[in-house]
Amino acid sequence: MSATDIRRVGIVGGGQMGAGIAEVCARAGLDTLLCEANGPAATAARERIAVSLERAVQRGKLDRPSAEAALDRITTTAELTDLADRQLVVEAVTEDGDVKTALFAALDKIVEDPAAILATNTSSLPVMRLGMTTGRADRVVGLHFFNPVPVLPLVEVVTTLHTAAQVTADVTEFATDTLGKTVIQSRDRAGFVVNALLVPYLLSAIRMTESGFATATDVDRGMELGCAHPMGPLKLADLIGLDTVASIAESLYDEFKEPLYAPPPLLMRMVEAGLLGRKAGRGFHTYD
Ligand code: CAA
């Protein structure tokens, strides 16, 4: 199977990343099946995509007929077995190793075409560990998108020790030519390229606030106005989700045992308190 043969795509997980990936696939003209845990979650994912498509129309990035056609290409389901005929499945569930390994083992039994590709959008977990729960580790690869997926042009392609060279080539061509993204290649190390650089920076900003060194607003303003970042580190942590930032930090710390990756206590307390950032209405900042 070459990249241009990939027409039927499945996405597992309809949170901000999964919904974003489904949206870019549908906008690229693909038959897109989005699988969520239950009916209400599937409906919420579809609504998230509709809102994002409307935002693209309002911002002049997409005409209304194209937005409507994209939404029509997305089917939602709560049955994992509906993914049986997919040529590419992208897993985008919560950043939890046990959940992801169980899912890959299930997908291996469900997806019928032996040439299909099973990809993960994990931010930091070893792709190899997911591949080894399947009988087709050579067809398992990392395909890591960035939030907001319809806006940010990058995809990291993560190749494991078992990923077939043709699979890496096919998903690279798929992300580039079909989805219109720009690809960088990474070996299978916690954090890949971007999060290995980004997360220590976010953690430093959290430690700065935690120690009373500067307020969250001033830390963000410093990086926005002093370094021209589109958003400061604490706003960005809120956008990513503080639970996700904590999970990535824990994976990085597990892998490298370097103090710069250790999640600060304030981050862990906020996660335990449910102050997860933008999606919860409150993190380092508050949201409507
Ligand atoms: N579809 C298509 N385009 C859209 C869109 C949509 N749904 N929504 C917005 N856009 C476009 C807008 O048209 C605009 O484009 P132009 O600049 O060409 O006009 C652009 O996106 C910015 O949109 P807005 O002006 O509405 O919003 P903004 O200026 O407030 O920017 C932001 C918002 C894009 C989130 C910006 O602040 C940003 O890029 N922040 C940094 C995000 C970032 O670093 N993400 C990476 C997180 S790390 C990660 O995701 C990996 C991980 O594993 C944790």
Residue whose CA lies nearest to ligand 1 atom number 21: 151
Residue 193 CB neighbours (<10 A): 16
Show which of 187, 208, 238 is a domain's final residue. Answer: 187
**Measured distance CA(174)–CA(1) in Å, rounded:** 11
Task: Decide if pLDDT at 31 tops 80.
Answer: yes
Q: How far is CA 124 from CA 18, 44, 79, 144, 202, in A?
A: 16, 26, 27, 9, 15
Ligand 1 neighbourhood includes 200 CB (under 6 angstroms):
no
Strands (E), the chain: 8-12, 31-35, 74-77, 88-91, 117-120, 140-145, 154-159, 182-187
Burial class (CB in 10 A: 0-12, 13-18, 19+), 268: middle
Residue whose CA lies nearest to ligand 1 atom number 20: 151
**141 CA to centre of ligand 1 in angstroms:** 26
| Cβ atoms 149, 23 nearer than 8 A | yes
pLDDT tens-place string over residues 102-131? 999 999 999 999 999 999 999 989 999 999
Residue whose CA lies nearest to ligand 1 atom number 30: 230
User: Residue range 39-53: average pLDDT?
Assistant: 97
Q: How far is CA 238 from CA 78, 84, 138, 270, in A?
A: 28, 36, 36, 11
Catalytic residue among 144, 186, 247, 251: 144
pLDDT tens-place string over residues 165-188? 999 999 999 999 999 999 999 999
Confidence of residue 100 (pLDDT cuts 50, 70, 90): very high
**24 CA to centre of ligand 1 in angstroms:** 14
Structure tokens at 170: 């096919």
Residue 156 bears catalytic tag: yes
Residues 207 and 183 in one domain: no
pLDDT tens-place string over residues 52-80? 999 999 999 999 999 999 999 999 999 99
218 within a domain of the structure (yes/no): yes
Structural Rg of the chain based on CA atoms: 19
Nearest to 207 by CA among 241, 170, 233, 174: 233
Pocket-testing residue among 61, 156, 276, ligand 1, by greatest number of atoms within 8 A of Cβ: 61
The model's pTM is 0.95
| Cβ atoms 59, 211 nearer than 8 A | no
**129 CA to centre of ligand 1 in angstroms:** 31
State the residue range of the domain holding 235: 195-280
Number of domains in the chain: 2
* pLDDT at residue number 124: 84
48 within a domain of the structure (yes/no): yes
286 within a domain of the structure (yes/no): no
Residues 183 and 205 in one domain: no
